[in-house]
Amino acid sequence: MSGGVDSSVTAALMVEAGYDVVAITMRLGMHDTMEIESDKPNCCSLEGVEDARRVAMQLGVPFYAVNYEDQFRKSIVDYFTDEYVAGRTPSPCVICNQDLKFGKLLDLAMQLEADYVATGHYARIEQDPETGRYLLRKGIDSRKDQSYFLFSLTQDQLSRALMPLGGYTKDRVREIARKYKLRTSEKPESQELCFIADDNYKRFLKDRIPEKIQGGEIISQAGDVLGKHQGIPFYTVGQRKGLGIAAGVPLYVTELKTHNNTIVVGKHEDLLKDTMRIEQVNLIPMDNLTAPIRAHVKIRYRDAGASATITPLSETEAEVQFDEPRRAVTPGQAAVFYDGDVVIGGGWIQGASER
């Protein structure tokens, strides 16, 4: 329980369904150097722990707070900074679900002889009656669907997970919270990066790894020097603003070259790629791909997705060819494959090219 409305309602629904519920909050620590007052709550704050504790009291279930600060730093914060230094754009929510919520927390649940971990994710888990495998589906609220962040879960993790909010809209969840008179019923949404106080990742990186941020050259597609950058971790593929370059046409970041600390920029059409290589592939309805398949592929959370052919290269690598070129295919982001509302699986974008 993070102390937000979603996990509070999840606990209430589990109690209502007759489960023997134990409420657990992960204390993840404050890994920022900055403390600010904000209207946006986050799951790392003491306020979140207190809200979760009080909701547990309202529901009459036992409550525990467990300290996962070291694990969070290693799995999430260090990963976050390392990816930016490597010229990749991280997706920490995927790793948090994989390593903490359905990793460390699931291990704890098993030690407590619990059968499941229930979370407030907007996604649905079903078991295929023919194959027996567990399937991951989108939540019915398209505005809140979080299946993208869950693509890396294994069959074992899915078999022990419950996500009751997948069948509700956010508005309905608020109504349920009001019905139970939960103190979190009107609590606003938490900020996207819970460990960054002001949502300013550039300030966060500068505070944590100043020695790894060095200025360098911004060059054109032809190799001409156009200006200076402030450090590769401050830029991402597709970025237009903040380049400090005066040009007759809009320019975008098209490539981050960490080996020589150079940023390449180009026109909008230079961002268009139709082929990408995916690593650390995880599949859900099947163990592996033996032949190319068709799927709808999202290359970032808010991406609408597009039709593509996925060709296996090995058990853990694949090539994705889009029917039409996509803009700003970004290394480090997750690529997630869908068949309708079913998550086929996904992997991490390693690089992109033109066919």
| Domain CATH number, residue 307 | 2.40.30.10
Domain count across the chain = 3
- For residue 257, what pLDDT band results from cuts at 50, 70 and 90? very high
**What is the model's pLDDT at position 189?**
84
Task: Encode pLDDT of 188-242 as tens digits.
Answer: 887 678 888 888 999 999 999 999 999 999 999 999 999 999 999 999 999 999 9
Same domain, residue pair 225 and 300: no
Torsion of CA 230, 232, 236, 240, to 10 degrees: 30
Same domain, residue pair 135 and 280: no
Count CB neighbours of 100 within 10 A: 18
State yes or no: is 96 an active-site residue: yes
Q: H or E segment at 84? A: helix 78-85
Residue among 43, 44, 93, 96 flagged as catalytic: 96
Same domain, residue pair 16 and 100: yes
Q: Which two tokens stand for residue 335?
A: 């690529």
State yes or no: is 93 an active-site residue: no
Q: Which two tokens stand for residue 93?
A: 């929510």
N-term to C-term CA, the chain: 46
Q: Is pLDDT of 130 > 80?
A: yes
Same domain, residue pair 229 and 121: no
The Cα 9–Cα 11 span in angstroms is 5
Count CB neighbours of 20 within 10 A: 10
What is the arithmetic mean of pLDDT over 167-175? 97
Name the β-bridge partners of 273.
Answer: 326
Q: Residue 215: which of 229, 235, 205, 201 has the closest Cα?
A: 229
Same domain, residue pair 227 and 302: no
Domain span at residue 293 reads 272-353
Q: Determine whether 314 is exposed, middle or buried from the number of CB atoms within 10 Å of its CB (0-12, 13-18, 19+).
A: exposed
SS3 state of residue 335: strand
Read off φ and ψ for residue 232, nearest 5 degrees. -55, -40
Q: Which two tokens stand for residue 274?
A: 């139709």
SS3 state of residue 268: helix
Same domain, residue pair 240 and 96: no
DSSP-derived secondary structure letter, 234 = G
**What is the model's pLDDT at position 33?**
67
Q: Is pLDDT of 336 > 70?
A: yes
Q: Is pLDDT of 42 > 60?
A: no
| Residue that terminates a domain, selected from 179, 199, 231 | 179
What is the arithmetic mean of pLDDT over 245-257? 93
Looking at the domain assignment, is residue 67 inside a domain? yes
